[in-house]
Structure 1
Amino acid sequence: MEIGCHVSISGSIDKAVDNAVERECSAFQIFTRNPRGWHAKDLSDEDITNFKSKLKSSKINRFATCAHMPYLPNLATPKKDGFEKSVKILINEVERCAQLGIPYLVTHLGSHLGTGEESGIKRLVEGLTKAGETKNDVMILLENTAGQKNSVGSDFQQLGEIFNQLKPTKKFGVCFDSCHAFVAGYDLRTEKKVKETFDEFDKYVGIKNLKILHLNDAKGDLGCNLDRHYHLGLGGIGEKGITAIVKFANNHKIPIILETPIDDDRDDFGNIRKAKEFA
């Protein structure tokens, strides 16, 4: 089983590997930069060498690692300057992942800001296609959304329609977030419902395109559209559902990444232990 969590790069980017090893991860996710800003300093040769060296000695399979896009870019925005800045950052993140040897970059799909799904999706596909022209082996993963107002990609049929427009196909895959799917209306509370949900996902998107699974319980209820992650087994999905999702990911050899909170109830260590118990 390849399982881990989002880890900090505070201090230097290679510290991410130390943090992953400390948490007994066999997979992990990072931001390659400050996720709340538009600008990032270039990765130095030392950063790249240290990250790759530590990853190799850690015995964590690099194909169980991914990076996540920062928060500010919006690939579906109707604002021309915002769209251009967002695409520029996406391309830059793809290049940073290539430098570090990280094979996957997870991206949110953005908000059309009230201009309609059709126009938002058109811009999204345009931006993703531009990033897909980069000459490296990094795959951009589209993450299903929680169904917030003006967002796109929470519905599997729509996510599949977006995904199938992207070329070249080898540059794109999908990241499934369990919290997002649940609050978007896909029931994941029992083994039967988990199977039904992934059958529908396979119909429209394709399990073969699923490269990373974000394993998060949900603070909210089924279909509430509240994007609030919670501790495994303690949220709306619950233990039976989380267990079935873990087993599905293991059966399909899909790396599992936790993005659960850290508070008085549980931390990364506790949630990773719990996920392994469910497995």
Structure 2
Amino acid sequence: MFARMAKTTRAAAAAAKKKNQQEESLSQLSKREENEVEEAEDDDLGVSVHNTQTFAALASQDTAATTIAESASAALEVGTKPVAASTKKRGVVDEEETTTRVIKKARVRKDEVMIPAARTAGVKMMVGAHVSMSGGVQHAITNSLNIGGNAFALFLKSQRKWVSADLKEADAKAFRAGCEKNGFDPRKHVLPHGSYLINLANGDAEKAKKAYNCFLDDLKRCERLGIGLYNFHPGSTLGLSRSESLSRVARALNKAHSETKFCITVLENMAGAGNVIGGKFEDLRDIIAKVKDKDRVGVCLDTCHLFAAGHDIRTQESYDEVMSNFDRIIGRKYLMALHINDSKAPLASKRDLHQNIGLGFLGLEPFRIIMNDERLESLPLILETPMEEEKTWAEEIKLLESLVGVEGDDPEFLATAKELADSGAGERRTAGIAAQKKAAKAVAKPGKRGRKGRNNGESDSEGGDSDDGEHRC
């Protein structure tokens, strides 16, 4: 079993690498499509696009919504009108392909429709992935079913626009009915991801208001959908003191909680680069300490971000130490979810570069440990690994589920871990060299200043992430 899954994972990684080599053309395509769906104002779009290996692939999946819509009716049985997969040339659209502006852009052949993966019944570890919701939030359910997920994440609207069209009541009703029919508990196992534009720590009054309104709109969408968790990046200091920035985030959460009813705001730990908040457990602790309603705040731990920030989880002993520190500094009760990603960058690199499971610097062992940690049972465990096609996540879900009950000295497990590690060795070597060069450059130019005169590694981004072109999840 392990060998077959390892082979599939290697194939997926090879495909993702090829995808990365086509980054320039993909970026151009993404820009053309974004222009047709109303981009955010240039002055406000202060964050880089996401890693093209994962979320550009997800965006491509979004633009190929006919496949999703074609199977949605059968999977959900909630009255969603199916749209036939198009076999026409690009740009040729008939009247039936006008359900949404995105569906008009679909370029999917019938032979590309994925056969849904079987979900593992009776599991305690709720593994899934960040799936597309193109054509309506209800289609995220279909996409999760396609990969055999028992949990899922999604964007509730465009992650690159401040203002989006209102959530249609028909879509909200279809989502709630689809979750009930297919056994997804939206209060526990659905983890929406917030917009990359949102920075609740922003000191500019106008931009802070814009960020808060976007944030509040997401929370209200969650509650209309019956979703109980909402994951977001804490933000960045942008020239303010860290203490003031953390206070601003907490004040925004308190205000948002007073304007909504039940959705829990889930802070994500970050890789720790520059001015980004959340690389240290203490950042999250200090925000939570200032939140009035402690029942409505939590934390999502991203394994890649943990590793990049210097938290080594590669052995049982080091993993236990990190989790013990989390419990001591923040509190175990606040852990609401995990993002499951390997890392393309070395330990403490502060680089947010996700890799397929077992191919990166983390390796397979920490994911075996996670899948056997009873404290994580029933939490959404969400893949954000590079994805060339849906079956990549389907195979990774099965790989992770197969690790339950497996000991670290199991010969088959060790062979699979080595095989995956060997497959990713080339990329790790390249990434290691790049990290060394970056570190040497930083030492050579310690006081390099940005466009607005900031230093100490801070970016000029309005949003919550650094603007070095790295991954944003």
- TM tier, shorter chain? over 0.9
Q: CA offsets, 1:89-138, max 9 Å, x none?
A: 11111110000011100010011113221221122112122112123111
Among 36, 40, 50, the alignment partner of 2:164 is 40
In structure 1, the residue matched to 2:253 is 128
Which of 237, 240, 250 is equivalent to 1:115? 240
1:24 and 2:148 matched: yes
* 2:196 aligned partner: 71
Amino acid aligned to 2:291: L
User: Which one-letter code corresponds to 2:216 in the other structure?
Assistant: I
Retained in 2: the 8 A contact 1:260–1:271? no
Q: Residue 13 of structure 1 contacts residue 51 of structure 1 at CA under 8 Å; is this kept in 2? A: yes
- Cα offset, 1:251, TM superposition: 4.9
Q: Over aligned residues, Cα RMSD in angstroms?
A: 1.5
Choose the corresponding residue for 2:291, options 135, 156, 166: 166
Residue ranges of structure 2 left out of the alignment (5+ in a row): 1-124, 405-473
Correspondence 1:173-188 to 2 at 5 A: 173-188=298-313
Q: Which residue of the other structure, out of 203, 219, 224, is the alignment partner of 2:328?
A: 203
Give the letter for the 2:338 counterpart: L
Letter in 1 for 2:292: K
Aligned to 2:398: 273
Distance 1:250 1:277, change over 3 A: farther
Tell me the secondary structure at the aligned position of residue 276 of structure 2. Answer: coil
Task: Read off the aligned partner of 1:226 and give its amino acid letter.
Answer: R
AA aligned to 1:58 is N
* Shift in Å, 1:254: 2.1
Please identify which structure carries the higher strand content.
1
Q: In the alignment, which residue of structure 1 is the partner of 2:427?
A: none
- Which residue of 1 is the match for residue 363 of structure 2? 238
Does the CA contact (< 8 Å) of 1:213 and 1:249 recur in 2?
Answer: no
Identical pairs, percent:
32
Instruction: Name the SS for the 2:243 alignment partner.
Output: helix
1:203: how far off? 0.4
Secondary structure of 2:128's match? strand
Whole-Å Cα distance in 2 between the matches of residues 85 and 75 of structure 1? 9
Give 1:191's aligned residue: 316
Deviations 1:146-199 (A, max 9, x none): 101101121112321221211111111111111111100000111111111000
SS of the residue aligned with 1:176?
Answer: strand
In the TM superposition, what are the counterparts of 1:26-105 in structure 2 within 5 Å?
A: 26-62=150-186, 63-105=188-230
Write the deviation string for residues 190-220 of structure 1: whole angstroms up to 9, x where unpaired: 1111111000000011111111111111111
8 Å contact 1:26–1:61 — kept in the other structure?
A: no
| SS, match of residue 373 in structure 2 | helix
1:3 is displaced (CA, Å) by 1.0
Match of residue 149, structure 1, among 248, 265, 274: 274
CA distance in 2, matches of 1:261, 1:84: 34
Kindly name which structure, 1 or 2, has the bigger radius of gyration based on alpha carbons. 2
Contact 1:179 1:218 in 2 (8 A): yes
Counterpart of 2:142 in structure 1: which amino acid?
D
Please report the TM-score for the alignment, with normalisation by the length of structure 2. Answer: 0.57
Distance 1:40 1:64 in 2: 25
1:8 maps to 132
Q: Alpha carbons of 1:41 and 1:8: their partners in 2 closer, same or farther (altered >3 Å)?
A: same
- Unaligned regions of 5+ residues in structure 1, if any? none
SS in structure 2 at match of 1:4: strand
Q: Please report the TM-score for the alignment, with normalisation by the length of structure 1.
A: 0.95
Whose relative contact order is higher, 1 or 2, with alpha carbons under 8 Å and at least 6 apart? 2
| Secondary structure, aligned partner of 2:290 | coil
Q: Which amino acid aligns with 1:263?
A: E
| Aligned partner letter, 2:135 | G
Corresponding residue SS for 1:68: coil
**Contact 2:158–2:164 under 8 Å retained in 1:** yes
Which residue identity is paired with 2:332? I
Q: Secondary structure at the match of 1:65?
A: coil
What do residues 209-252 of structure 1 show as CA deviations (whole Å, max 9, x unaligned)? 11111111111111001111111111111111121122226654
Cα separation, 1, equivalents of 2:351 and 2:175: 35
Q: 2:346–2:361: 8 Å Cα contact kept in structure 1?
A: yes
